[in-house]
Amino acid sequence: MEKTKLTRRTVLRTAALTTTVLTTPFVRRGQTAEAVVPKGKMTLGWHSNIAARWLDPQQHDGTATPDNFLFANQDALIKNFRDKRYDHLALADKFDFAEDSKSATFQLRAGIKFHDGSPITPEDVRWSYEHYTGASAAVLHERTHAIDIVNDRTIRFSFKDPFLDFPILMGTGNVCGAGWFVPAKYYQKVGKDGFVQKPIGAGPYKLVSQQPGSKIEYEAFEGYYRPVHVKNFTIVSVPEAATRVAMLERGEADIIYLVPGELIDRIKNNPKLMLAPVVSGSWWLEFPGFQDPKNPFHDKRVRQAVSLTVDRKAINDAESGGMGRVSGNWINDDVEYALDWPQWETNIPKAKELMKQAGHPDGFKVDWLTVVPNYFPRGERVISQLKAIGIQTRLQTMERGVYLKRMESGLKEWPGVQIIMNATRIGGSWSNWYDGMFKCGGYQSQDMICVQALDDKFAKYAASFNPAERKKIAEEIQKVILEEYYFVPVFRHAFLNAIGPRLKAAKWEDVFPTALTTGYAYPWEDIELKETAAAEK
Amino acid sequence: MGQFMLRRTMYAVVTLFILSLTIFTVVRLTGDPVTLLAEPGARAVDLDRIRAEWGLDRSLPMQYLAFAQNIFTGELGKSFNYQMPVSTLYFQRLPNSLELALAATLISFVIGIPAGIISAVRVNSAWDNVGKTVALLGLSVPGFWLGLVMILIFSVWLHWLPTSGQGGWQHLIMPSLALGWYFAASLLRLTRSSMLEVLRSEYVKLARLKGLPGYVVLAVHAFKNALIPVLTLAGVNLVVMINAAVIIEVIFAWPGIGRLLYEGIFQRDFPLVQGVVMQAGIMIVVINLIVDILYAYIDPRIRLTK
């Protein structure tokens, strides 16, 4: 019997088949969209102000925050959805990425419309892509050779060279907004500033009104291709955490984001409420300027000793009520090519021995330990733990913007011996993490962490068009970072949210379906109210 | 009089110029707003793009000139965060802030003035001690704490009032109480001291000697005169409440100007912070100018003093 050859096309075909099988239940739901009559009102207590740019996919800032709004008001060709990282078919019902990675073809669903009733056309897709100014715009535009409208539902992107990251960029809502296209004519008519005041999309909820920065009111879009269960959806900005919790307790909000540690018990002790600990950003220790032989962290044994000293479970328990995750890798496991790595041990005697071998039997003084503001308590915990091997340091606090500016400015802003407890959550691919946080000249690594051999490998990765080779290189690089303790992973903290009693949810994952992709509640159209709540006026 | 008005107007213009320079410089001392417009992980090219888009790649003098031009056009610049003119945002929020500030002023009047009068009239009595305690508590209990305690009691436990937001009169009760409480205390203290001073004055003694009833002496002769500094303070308080009720508006998610300012500072939204501060500054300077001119009109000694 002839053995089936494993090619990119067969892999994609299998993936498409699997997608079809897995999405069949949703398709069925889609076919019964008319049978679902949206009812009731749902309110989300948002934890900061609402920036206008989050309402416009064209201005996507490359972070996770716009996700929350895009999933309500807009929709994409393909998108991150439940456990699908980037290739869930949304407004496109067919997506074909060429075997040579030099073109991608999308077929739009038949008969779909924007909220204003205008039909969604390939021209909207093309115009949005060509005029997209948000995150990753430069790389998308540079690498795109042509955009051809094949017919009234089909559009094809051709690239100058194989563009393996294209589907990830197009489909990952917390990395890039290029796949979340806008109604071209309307956008041109009202302009960028006008659009954010009255955004029109093709998502499950259409805008009714907004008080800029403080409140957005949506209404179910009955023309959506999937059933939408709740009629009115309001997002209200409530910066004070205690007020958000009170809103939930009183039934004024149904979902709230960001419950701080001191309020966790109020949620836990209330049987009507449900805590939703979404495992989120990853935290690690880094040693700026460790390449300098005079720096005590130049010695791998010292870095390893630090790793052996950190009690990750204690930090997770204290900082996330034990609801975060003590993971081995500093790169989140929900991105492409992230390497799975076992948990790190805590072993003080072994750490002391390593310090002794490295010539620091009594430890040494570190000028500062700086932690991403405003998570100062977790920095204090690390400082306290490091005392066990004689590393004495103090916590350096600063305002968040100052911290980011100093990170962006490189080693000159971090003189002497320093430890930084850094953190991020970036979607899409592991390469976004490496590129921004580790690579020499990266956004936050700058000249603080320069390992030429790994950067050379990364250049090879970036130049490669072979997925298998890419995966291999990606894993090799991550392995070296971890084995050499260039970064000392600490934990993934939990982004603590809460759900009120009016929502139909047996468990919190019904509203926050997965730790993959977005950290917010979604898909909004799937969230349902209990019968009694839905019947309320 | 004309020369006096001209001189005062020039002082006002110079004050506003100094204010504009100060706020322009101070907001820029806080760092680069682009680091907050794009969160960690954004690429360097994206940060540069945002800088260019908002004119932050221009020299400081050029940025100041643009700011000054925006003040003259009345637009006050365009907010980074909201992508709309600051003046539009300001005037959208102004009615909300006015609503809250007027309610808080009413509460501060209702509590502060009668309590101040009673304290002064019954000086060193139990009433006075109660008044002094209220004043002390009002000035020392932080508004955010009072607000949170009220939310806990009246919203969460008793279910009487909504926790936050703007809506009907029920929404106004807690924030206006939390805001007015502090100002009631300051009014109480000022009313008390002002009344005590007036009650010791010669013309009040004369009124009493003339045999006028006590309430007439209090209401017509004492209170009327004691009210002048109280009203002056209340006017300043009102401007402060409109523009800077930051904490109360944040606690109660009240969409007012104070919260707008808070968000602007938090997000380093330079045009927004500059615009709100300038608008508040203009309000205060203009009110002071009008008061100065009125004083000069009423009292010729003022306009003759160089």
Query: pLDDT by residue (tens digit) across B9-67?
Result: 999 999 999 999 999 998 888 777 776 666 555 667 777 877 888 888 889 999 999 99
Q: What is the pLDDT along chain A (537 residues), one digit of tens a residue?
A: 344 444 544 444 444 444 444 444 444 444 445 578 999 999 999 998 898 889 999 988 777 788 899 999 999 999 988 888 889 999 999 999 999 999 999 999 999 999 999 999 999 999 999 999 888 888 899 999 999 999 999 999 999 999 999 999 999 888 889 999 999 999 999 999 999 999 999 999 999 999 998 999 999 999 999 999 999 999 999 999 999 999 999 999 999 999 988 899 999 999 999 999 999 889 999 999 999 999 999 999 999 999 999 999 999 998 888 999 998 999 998 888 999 999 999 999 999 999 999 999 999 999 999 999 878 889 999 999 999 999 999 999 887 767 877 887 899 989 999 999 999 888 888 998 998 899 998 878 889 999 999 999 999 998 898 889 999 999 999 999 999 999 999 999 998 999 999 999 999 999 998 656 577 998 999 999 998 877 775
From residue A175, alpha-carbon distances to A67, A147, A168 in Å are 9, 22, 9
CB pair distance less than 8 Å for B250 and A239: yes
Q: Cβ neighbours of residue B233 under 8 Å, at least 6 residues apart?
A: B186, B187, B190
Give yes or no for a contact between A302 and A520, defined as CB atoms under 8 angstroms apart. Answer: no
Q: How far does B19 lie from chain A, in Å, by closest CA?
A: 24
- Asked if A443 is an interface residue toward chain B (Cβ–Cβ < 8 A), one would say yes
Provide the chain B residues 173-192 that lie in CB contact (below 8 A) with chain A: none
Give yes or no for a contact between B134 and B126, defined as CB atoms under 8 angstroms apart. Answer: no
- Asked if A421 is an interface residue toward chain B (Cβ–Cβ < 8 A), one would say no
Give yes or no for a contact between B120 and B196, defined as CB atoms under 8 angstroms apart. Answer: yes
Complex ipTM, two decimals?
0.82
Predicted confidence at residue B294, as pLDDT, reads: 80
How many CB atoms are closer than 10 A to CB A84? 19
- Asked if A61 is an interface residue toward chain B (Cβ–Cβ < 8 A), one would say yes
Place of tokens 């995750």: A325
Residues in A touching B162 (Cβ below 8 Å): 250, 252
Side chain identity at A282, as an amino acid letter?
Answer: S
User: B296-302 long-range contacts, Cβ below 8 Å, gap at least 24?
Assistant: B296/B1, B296/B4, B296/B5, B296/B8, B297/B1
Residues in A touching B38 (Cβ below 8 Å): 61-63, 135
- Asked if A239 is an interface residue toward chain B (Cβ–Cβ < 8 A), one would say yes
Residues in A touching B100 (Cβ below 8 Å): none
Q: How far does B255 lie from chain A, in Å, by closest CA?
A: 6
Q: How far does B91 lie from chain A, in Å, by closest CA?
A: 12
CB pair distance less than 8 Å for B255 and A247: no
- B91 pLDDT band (50/70/90 cuts)? very high
Alpha helices (H) in A144-216, listed in sequence order: 166-171, 184-197
CA-to-CA distance for B2 and A314, rounded, in angstroms?
74
- A214, A371, A432, A434, best to mutate vs chain B, most B CBs in 10 Å: A214
- Count, residues in chain B: 306
Convert B265-300 to b/e letters by CB count within 10 Å (16 or more is b): bbbbbbbbbbbbbbbbbbebbeebbeebbeebeeee
CB pair distance less than 8 Å for A424 and B36: no
CA-to-CA distance for A362 and A352, rounded, in angstroms?
9
Provide the chain A residues 380-409 that lie in CB contact (below 8 A) with chain B: 399-402, 404-405, 407-408
CB pair distance less than 8 Å for A197 and B84: yes
- Asked if A374 is an interface residue toward chain B (Cβ–Cβ < 8 A), one would say no
- Asked if B100 is an interface residue toward chain A (Cβ–Cβ < 8 A), one would say no
